[in-house]
Structures are given as C-alpha cells and as structure tokens.
Amino acid sequence: MFGSIFAFVIVLSVIVLVHEAGHFFVAKKMGVKVEEFGFGIPPKLWSKKIGETVYSINLLPFGGFVKLHGENSEDEVTDVNRAFLNKSKKARTLILSAGVIMNFLLAIFAFSIVYSFSGIPRETDKVKILEVTTGSPAQVAGIVPGDIVKVVAKEEINSVSQFVNLVDEAKGEKLKITIERVIGDETEDKNVTLTPRENPPEDEGPLGVVITATEIYYPPIWQRPFVGIYYGFKEAVFWGRALVLGFVGIFANLFKGVTPKDIAGPVGIFALTSQAATIGALAVVNFIGILSVNLAILNIIPFPALDGGRILFIVVEGIIGKRVTPKIEAMIHTIGFMILLLLLLAITAHDIKNLISAGGLSGFGEKLFE
C-alpha cells in the first residue's frame, strides 16, 4: 500500500507541478508578479515565501494553482505594471494556455521514454500467432504461439485483414493453412487442416487465435531519443483525439439523460496508479503521459474556473471590444470552481461505490484497466 501511495503522489505531483510551472514561468516572462505557487487545494498545510512568491502545499492533493497579482480584481492591484489584468490579450492568453502546452509536452516526453526503452512498433507483411486458446481449432491442429501464417487456402498471407477475411469465408468448412515455425536456428513450413467455427465463444474468433502483423524493433541507441519523441508525439495526439471524442460522447449522453459510467476521479486514479506500479516503472511513466493529456484536454474546455474558461473571456473581450468587469468574471469563475468541486465529490463517491463492489483496490484497478 505504501508503494501505491508513493506512486500516486509522484504521478500527481509531476503532472500538477509541470502544469502550474507553465503558468508560473510564462507569467514571469510576461512581467506578471506571481504571488503564490500552490500544490493541492487549500486549506494550507505548509508555506514558505521565497523572493516575492509564496510556495505552499495544501491539504487536498487533487490539483494546484498559481496566484497572479491582479488576476481577479482591480481593487487588489498594488503594482499596476505587473498586474495580470493590465497585460495585453496576447500575454494573458499565453499565460493561461501555458499549463495545457506543458502537459502536452510532458505527455510527449513520457511516451518517448516508454518507446525508447520498450521498442518501436512497426507494421510488417507477416501475420504472427500471439496466443492460442485452449481447446480451439487452432490448438487441436497443432498451431502454437510464435507461428507465422504463410498461406491460407492457397493464398499467400501478408496482412491481418486478408487472413481474417479468408478464415471468415471458410467458417464451417475445412481450411488448409501453411505456417512457418522457428525451431532453434532453423525454420520449417508445416501444413495444417482445421475447421473455423461458425459460432465461436465470445472474444475467441473462429480459430481461437490472437494475431498481429506488428513487430517491435530497437533503433540504434543514439537514434532512440529522436525516434521516441516522434512516436511520443503521435501517441500524445492519439490520446488527445480519443479524449476529445470521449468528452463529446459524455456530454452527448448527459443531454440524453444517460449517466456516464467510465469516469474516474481521485480514487480511480489512485487505483490505476497502483495497478500501473505493479506492472513496472515504464507503465507508471506511460500512465503519466495519458493522465497529462487528460489534464491538458480537461483544462482547455471553455468552462468557468478552467484555463479554457478564462481564455473564453479574453476571446469575448476581443469580440465585443471591452473587458468583462473583473468582479463579474471572478464571481463566474468562483461559481464554476464550486461546481467542479461538487462534481469531484460526486465522482469520488461513485469511485468508492465501485471500489467496494469490486472487492478492493486491486479489483477496482483491474476493472478500470479493461
């Protein structure tokens, strides 16, 4: 349990601190005074003032914040030239979007580490057997993991889709397959005859095999960081797109009156972190990448109190030609923050309910991983 808590704190700390560091450094660059850099949600547990900025650790470790001088009200401004409200629209937009950008860069970095150590996947023209189900037609015929499918029904195989289509066409009929098997330093071809099932058990398929045309390769060590960054960027974009579509689906279901079931809060994140920690360090790093993209996408949503909501007010200012009254904007963001806290509590309650029904942390983590 201690290891799980440690991993959870590390994962959350890295993601939140990177996000807030984006706001912090860009604000400094733009000449805005940073009054406080906080980890977690108040009440405050510890704080120390270094220079002009107070650094604090707060009780609820579910986020963080950077308090900028003159961020919410003109009344609190004591240094006009260094107040956030007095900066240009471009400067304010850059400061607000910096956290999202940093989280996306963190995701790229995390995924690049994973690819650098675990290898780069690439497509081949060989269809390989990864798993064979016990009692399946494939096992009865003598096919084993590691075999390469060369010919099906006299047709040479060079893609997964081609293999699947030929097997589907032969359901209920005898089918001849030629496989290539590596034995020691030699390879040999073997012909087998089997009958694809017309009504196979769920998730097994007609032959009862798991196949792939992807292999893992390892570039020269000096190339791995560069190749890793390239694939890390693609992975971050993939998860970003998937999450956007997921959020769209959630909001669509809410309008239909359907309660979302696949949302995880702090307890769910703790369970997932624990599960990743049992797999290994690379799994934790990969999870950091996924979670960092989550935070980036979530924060760019134009909802009050989120970075996207604050940017929306700047966009409105550009359209109507004048700024929304700071006090009104601050009130709207406060209401949005309260709504987010209530949502967080509701999701946490939902997580606890699922944790109990799953029989514990391990079962809950496994269920979320599925």
Domain count, the chain: 2
Q: What are phi and psi of 144, to 5 degrees?
A: -130, 160
CA dist., res. 45 & res. 1, Å (int): 23
**Cβ atoms within 10 A of the Cβ of 29, count?**
12
Residue 194 placed within a domain: yes
pLDDT of residue 357: 63
> Is residue 247 located within the same domain as residue 364?
yes
Residue 245 placed within a domain: yes
The upper half-sphere exposure of residue 331, i.e. CA atoms within 13 Å in the direction of its Cβ, equals 5
Residue 226 placed within a domain: no
> Residue 131 belongs to what domain range?
123-217
CA dist., res. 256 & res. 64, Å (int): 33
> Is residue 340 located within the same domain as residue 246?
yes
> Is residue 93 located within the same domain as residue 240?
yes
> Is residue 92 located within the same domain as residue 182?
no
The upper half-sphere exposure of residue 318, i.e. CA atoms within 13 Å in the direction of its Cβ, equals 11
- Beta strands 175-183 and 209-217 are unpaired
pLDDT of residue 27: 96
CA dist., res. 245 & res. 254, Å (int): 14
User: Is 20 among the catalytic positions?
Assistant: yes
Residue 98 placed within a domain: yes
The distance between the two most distant Cα atoms of the chain, rounded to a whole number of Å, is 85
> Is residue 25 located within the same domain as residue 110?
yes
pLDDT along the chain (370 residues), means of 10: 72 89 95 92 90 90 84 80 92 95 92 88 88 90 91 90 90 91 86 90 88 86 83 82 70 61 63 76 88 87 89 92 86 87 73 61 50
| Coil/strand/helix, residue 251 | helix
pLDDT of residue 364: 46
> Is residue 100 located within the same domain as residue 207?
no
> Is residue 194 located within the same domain as residue 280?
no
pLDDT of residue 153: 87
Residue 289 placed within a domain: yes
C-alpha distances in Å from residue 147, one per residue of 130, 165, 175: 8, 19, 17
Predicted structure pTM score: 0.77
Q: Going by C-beta distance under 8 Å and a sequence separation of 6 or more, which residues neighbour residue 66?
A: 20, 23, 24, 27, 34, 36, 37, 38
CA dist., res. 51 & res. 48, Å (int): 10
- Beta strands 34-50 and 120-132 are unpaired
pLDDT of residue 258: 58
The angle formed by the CA atoms of residues 80, 82 and 85, to the nearest 5 degrees, is 75
Q: Where are the beta strands (DSSP E) in 229-275?
A: none
> Is residue 108 located within the same domain as residue 186?
no
Residue 202 placed within a domain: yes
